[in-house]
């Protein structure tokens, strides 16, 4: 996703990193979490 990409500013780099962290925590489904995203699993854990 970011390999070989050149960023023109520090702000652009920061936005890209923040977008990836959001994807990683909110959109990426994990089989070892029961086909849930990390945030969904965390929410279920807190509700228990």
Closest CA to 19 of 43, 1, 37: 1
User: What are the backbone angles phi and psi of residue 47, rounded to the nearest 5°?
Assistant: -75, -20
pLDDT tens, position by position, 8-32: 999 999 999 999 999 999 999 988 8
**Domains in the chain: boundaries:** 10-47
Dig out the tokens for 40 from the structure.
């969904």
Q: Does position 1 have pLDDT exceeding 90, yes or no? A: no
User: What are the backbone angles phi and psi of residue 35, rounded to the nearest 5°?
Assistant: 60, 45
Q: Which residues contact 40 (CB under 8 A, 6 or more apart)?
A: 33
> What pTM value is reported for the model?
0.74
């Amino acid at each position: 996703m970011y390999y070989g990409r050149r960023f023109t500013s520090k702000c652009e780099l920061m936005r890209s990193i923040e977008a990836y962290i959001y994807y990683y925590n909110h959109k990426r489904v994990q089989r070892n979490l029961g086909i849930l995203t990390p945030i969904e699993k965390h929410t279920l854990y807190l509700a228990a």
